[in-house]
Amino acid sequence: MVAAVIAVSLLSGNCIAFSNGDVQFWQTTGTSFDLNKDWTVEVQENMKFRQGAGHLYLHQTDLGFVYKGLTDWIDLGFNYKVSFGKVGDHWIQENRPHVNITFNGQLGAFEFSDRSRFEFRDKEDREDLWRYVHRFKIKLPCEFTKFKFRPYFADQVYLNFEGQTFEKNRIYSGVSFELTKNVESEIYYVWQLRKFDGQWIELNAFGFTLDILF
């Protein structure tokens, strides 16, 4: 984590907001607890810093209810996310209810999850739209140290139902680990390609996730 922050700091002087090749830092903290044997409540706070991780430009709060009562390998999520993004000197709000269908399984010794997300984006400054987000994540069958460091890879694709269909793609590589029995964390790197004002913009982000389980 320290190495990632140092690397971002060294690059911060040459980065411009939404410039091609911007280096960012993404931070997510969350918690979850079981209502009963079938339902789980999840809450996440997400913050993103651009221009070499020096400027906060996105803050999101996501509340979800996950139903696990169908089978052991299907999770259904019903979420509501409130997002505030900085445009110029102003913060723009977006309300984003979304439904998630996640298939969990194994390929030999590899664990994987395949999630389909359907979002309704109620934007303050633009027309509303629907978006489909698909994420495939696979964990390697190896663990290191008592903290159970486990490498993983993921690919996430964003498709709009109207207008510009293919919006962006993210490729993740990282490690998950357990700080304690009830505290899980991830450190990752993500490469993103996004179409913005008719041009493809690339960014690189270092991320840190902390989840507290009850």
Query: How far is residue 57's CA from residue 15's CA, in Å, rounded to a whole number?
Result: 14
pLDDT for position 107: 87
Coil, helix or strand at residue 35: coil
pLDDT tens string for the chain (214 positions)? 333 433 434 333 333 345 788 999 999 999 999 999 999 999 999 999 998 888 999 999 999 999 999 999 999 999 999 999 998 889 999 999 999 999 999 988 899 999 999 999 999 888 899 999 999 999 999 888 889 999 999 999 999 998 768 989 999 999 999 999 999 999 999 999 998 878 899 999 999 999 999 9
Who contacts 126 (Cβ-Cβ below 8 Å, separation ≥6)? none
pLDDT for position 160: 94
Comparing C-alpha atoms, which of 137, 73, 74 is closest to residue 111? 137
pLDDT for position 101: 98
pTM of the model: 0.86
Residue ranges of domains in the chain, CATH in brackets: 2-213 (2.40.160)
Query: How far is residue 28's CA from residue 187's CA, in Å, rounded to a whole number?
Result: 11
Query: How far is residue 191's CA from residue 154's CA, in Å, rounded to a whole number?
Result: 11
pLDDT for position 18: 56
